[in-house]
Structures are given as C-alpha cells and as structure tokens.
Structure 1
Amino acid sequence: MTTKVFIDGEAGTTGLQIRDRLISRSDITLVQIDPALRKDDAARKEAFAAADVAILCLPDDAARAAVALSADLGVRIIDASTAHRVNPDWAFGLPELSPAQAERIKSARYVANPGCYSTGAIALLAPLVAKGLVPADASITINAVSGYTGGGKALIAEYDAGTAPAHFVYATGQKHKHLPEIVEYVGLSGLPIFVPSVGNFAQGMAVQIPLHLDSLGTGATLESLHAALTAHYAGGGNIRVCPIEDQDSRIDPTALNDTNLLEIHVRGDAETGRAVLIAVLDNLGKGASGAAVQNLDLMISA
C-alpha cells in the first residue's frame, strides 16, 4: 500500500524540490491537480480528501486557509510556511531536537517544518542551553548567509538576470520571521540579534554564532561545547558534529547541497575563550524540502 501525498503549492521552489524527491518512490503516490486549478478551492479540497498527507508550500495566509479548507477531511498536514511554527498544537518538525520530538512528529496530525536559518541556529544552541553551557538569558548574535533560492521566485529571477548584488545583508530591523521559533525552541528568554545575508550562489547556507565563553558564566570551553553537541546528536538523525581539531580550514556553505544533512563545527581560540559555532546545510534540503520529506517519512512510519 502506498501513501498518497498532495503538495499544495507544487509549482514553487520548495514544492518542486519535494516533488522531485518523491516522484520516483514506489511507496508514495502523488495526488496532483490540473495546474490551471491550483487556486480552485473545490479542486484543492478534492485533492486534500484523496491524500493521506498534504504538504503545504504556500505563503503564511494561504497556508492558514489551506488548513481550514482541509480541517474536516482527516488529512495529515506538513506546513512549510511560518504560519504554525510556534503553535503548541503543531509538532515542530525538527526531530533531532530530542527523541520525544521525533515521536511527537510520528503521531502528529499537524507538523510545522522549521525555517532554514532557524534549523541551523536551533541545532547549534538548543543542546547547549538545555545542558546549561549557554544561559537562556545570554546575549546571542546569529550571523548567516544563504543561497539566493531561499528568497523565492522573485530573488531567483534577479540573480538569473544578473541584476542582484554579489552579496547583501537584509532584515537589519530585527523582525525576521524565523526569530520567534529560534527563541521558542532554543529556550531563550530574550531575542537574539540576527543578521542574515544572501550570497551569489543558488543553494547552501552557513549559520554562525559567536560566543565569548567567559561572559557566559558557565565555565564553558570549546571542548565542553563540542562534547555536549556530539553527545546530543550521537543517537542518529541527519545532524552530525565535525571533529574539533581542524580550526582554520575553510567552511563552504554549499558543501552539503542536494543532501538532507546538517554539519556542526565548533571553532575558536581556547586561550582567549572566543568560540564560533557554525552550522552548514542546504537551505533547500535540511532547510526546507529535505526536512519536509524527513518528517513525512516519520509520519508514515508510525
């Protein structure tokens, strides 16, 4: 028996990537509608009714409307938008947070896919806050660079046309839509400073968190940070911690493109107590489409 999956918003970047990951699988049957009817509620409702799981690749308001449209049909939902990520009635789709989180995803009707930047930031910080190595009230700064596909069709068109800059910083007003989920799932008591940017490459991402270890007041060292992260992710999943010995080699944001992996690096200077935590992932993989498929696989394995 196959699982029937409807991708609502299949024509977008995330939707196309999910379709490409599922279309050749023998255990999945894609429920598709005529592209001319992709905004027709009656056709969409029929597709929701025919599906076991629907994946929403829509803007926030459209995602909320899709949940309402399908509410009486029993279909399970994975939402790739920001709309439901801090809703307690939804399972947050980062199974590596804890074994309990993976179990919640397995049994959930509603799963909210994490954002790409927040996936990296939460993966770096959540185990350290839980362990007490980084205080919940620490002053945190997050710097990140993403490939331009994270900006959707309009930004992709700018880069394809050669009219976009080689690199730009944005969201400097500190209202980025990923901040609430970072605060919620890291367990921070205050808002971090978040400085995202876009580079002239299609896919890939590096998320960086600098720390003055002495200011944390926890006795944290490079070695204890590395050990805590290594222990947390030792149980499997798609997050792995790189060896601590290599401190000065280049870190390539595109190194994990076309995978659903996330790699963590702990770098810095032990003598002066300065550390940089770095997460590398594909913004379209573990940061979006790959994560949705990972959550789908958990949901249909239950």
Structure 2
Amino acid sequence: MSASIPTVFIDGEAGTTGLQMRDRLARNPAVALRSLPDADRKNPEAKRALMAEVDLVVMCLPDDAARETAAMADSLGDRAPKLLDASTAHRQHPDWVYGLPELTPEQATAIAGARRVAVPGCYPTGAILLLRPLVDAGLIPADFPISVNAVSGYSGGGKAMIAAYEARTAPDFELYGLSLSHKHVPELHRYSGLTRRPIFVPSVADYAQGMIDSIPLHLDLLPGSPSPADLQAVLAARYAGQPFVRVIDAPASGKIEPEAQNGTNNIDLMVFGHPTQRQAVLVARYDNLGKGASGAAAQCLGLMLGIAVETSLPGARVKVAA
C-alpha cells in the first residue's frame, strides 16, 4: 500500500455513483486513483491484486457484488484495504460503521477510525437527519407513528430508469414502494432512533436529480405540544458547525423545489408550520447523487484517510431560490 499519497480504487466506476465519485476525486492531489484496464474489469485475480496494492476501495456495486468484493478483501489478510460501500449490503452489518458523519456528535470520529464504512441510502439520509435529533431530545417519542414521503430525480433509479426517462417512455411522476417493504426502511427505522417502523412512500419524477424528504407532524400529539420554532431550534443546535447541513427558515411562499443543492454535498433542513392549526412538516432537500450518494461517500473517504476531499462536483453552484 502507499506510504505517502493514499491510493483509491473505485470498484464500479462506470456506474452513476462511481462516475460521480471519480469526478469528485480526480482533481484532488491528496489522493491517487487506481483503475483496472478494460480487459481486466471482470478478472477476479486482477481485481484482487489491485485491491492488495491500494489503501481504500470504494464499492459502487449491486449488493451481491459488494458482498463478493468484501469477501475478497477478507481473503487478503493484513494486505486488505479499507472499504467504503455505497450499496445497501452492509448498512446494518455489525462490523461496518454507518457512514453518516452528522448522525451523532461521535459518528465522524467513528468513521475516521473505521476500516469498513457503509454509505447511507439516499432517501434515509434526509429523514434520519430530521428525525434523530428530535427523537434524542424527546420531542418525538421513539414509538411515535411517522410517515416519510419522498421524491427523487430519476438518476437515483439506475441505468434502466435513466434510459426510460431519457427515451420519454417513463411516466412524468410515479409513486412506488407501496408494498411498504422498500429496502431503505430498515435503515431508516434503525438510525432514526424510532422503535416503531415508519411508513415510507417514495416517488420519482421527470427530472434528473435532486431529492426532497417530507415528514408531516401533528404537534398537539407530541409531548409538550412543541411549536415549529421549538423543532427548528433543536435541529439548529444539533447541526451547529456542521459544514454540509444547513438548518434554514422555511420560505414564506410555502413552496420548495428539489434541485437547489444539485452537484453539492449540502443538505437543507426546514420546518414548515402553522401556528394555530398545530401542524408541521419537516423537510430535507439535497442531491440524491450528492449527499445522498457520491458526495456522502467522498466525505467519508476524507475522514477514513485523514485528508481533505472535494465533496462537490466541479462548477457546482448552490441556487438561492426556494
């Protein structure tokens, strides 16, 4: 392994997440990217040999392939690289650290000291960052019934969905996961601090990227009947000083669009509320390919290797519109 500049292999660099990860790392002089020649992409021995030479492997793979790569790393013994998994495969595995640095005050330190980190799913990221501080503070009881509604751009659905939307054969808007068994629910359930399984209703719309999670609340059913300002104050205190999490005032228009953080690793958290009807909606806005995928992975990679890493895409500019 490298004794100076850390070396990184992106396993699955040709996929959507892998390409965005590569774009974030390619300009960074503090890290050296390694790749397999095209002829060796499906050669397990060539991959195993490369893994033994690098400091960290980013796995941008389907779940089964990620498990295979992790097992291959195990076979390397003391030559095994650190692993950063962007799939669903290891997010609840006891030997892997959950890669959401803002989850608790101690989580970034845990990631920095870990050899195996699982990057959060796109949808759970926003909902967990909204819910966990409020559950920890007792404003939302752990057994409170929670529903999370979410919409994503079609880039979060993989190559087949991207092709369908770009060919104009997909619907303009579609609810899915209505079997109530979406693969992100166990992760959302565990890391939000909830003891009651939340209802999760995802959707996809005809735009490329950008995500909104929204969580409606009846405030008079919560302990102490908190105000929207009380909820926002807890969120603001929890994330004070965090570079990628912004707790901002909800726009007076009562509207929100999903693309304002595209290309960045930023996430906006807001509390919409009605003072007399005693209702609120918690909202998170971020890039499903940024804080929801490659940006989050780059943030974790920097912690794991102890280096500064660019978490946004080249030329990304945050919009100021609501």
Find the counterpart in structure 2 of residue 46 from structure 1.
49
Number of the residue aligned with 1:208: 214
Instruction: Give the drift of 1:219.
Output: 2.5
Q: Bigger CA drift: 273-282 or 248-257?
A: 248-257
Distance 1:140 1:70 in 2: 39
Partners of 1:241 and 1:180 lie apart in 2 by: 26
Query: Does the aligned pair in 2 maintain the 1:31–1:50 contact within 8 Å?
Result: no
Structure number with the higher helix fraction is: 1
Please say if residues 289 and 295 of structure 2, whose CA atoms lie closer than 8 Å, have aligned partners that are also in contact.
Answer: yes
TM-score (norm 1): 0.97
What's the offset of the Cα at 1:272? Answer: 1.2
Contact 2:254 2:272 in 1 (8 A): no
Residue aligning to 1:69:
72
1:258 alignment partner in structure 2: 263
Q: Which amino acid aligns with 1:11?
A: A
- Cα deviation, 1:203-235, whole Å, max 9, x if unaligned, reads 100000000011123422101100000000003
Structure 2 equivalent of residue 82 of structure 1: 88
Partner of 1:167: 173
User: How far apart, CA to CA, are the structure 1 residues paired with 2:187 and 2:211?
Assistant: 18
Matched residue SS, 2:239: helix
Unaligned runs of 5+ residues in structure 2 are 308-322
Please provide the CA RMSD for this pair: 1.1
- TM-score normalized with structure 2 length: 0.91
- Out of 230, 243, 255, the position equivalent to 2:236 is 230
CA shift at 1:76, angstroms? Answer: 0.3
Say if 1:36 and 1:218 are closer, same or farther in 2 by CA, change over 3 A: farther
- Please tell me the residue identity of whatever aligns with 2:46: A
1:277 paired to 2:282: yes
Moved more, 107-116 or 96-105: 96-105
Structure 1 distance, partners of 2:278, 2:213, is 20
Using the TM superposition, give the Cα deviation of residue 44 of structure 1 relative to its aligned residue in structure 2, in angstroms: 0.9
1:240-270 CA distances to partner (integer Å, 9 max, x unpaired)? 10025x3434211001000000000100202
Residue 57 of structure 1 pairs with residue 60 of structure 2? yes
Percent of pairs with identical residues: 52
Tell me the distance in 2 between the aligned counterparts of 1:169 and 1:137. 26
Give the letter aligned to residue 52 of structure 1.
D
Counterpart AA for 2:248 = C
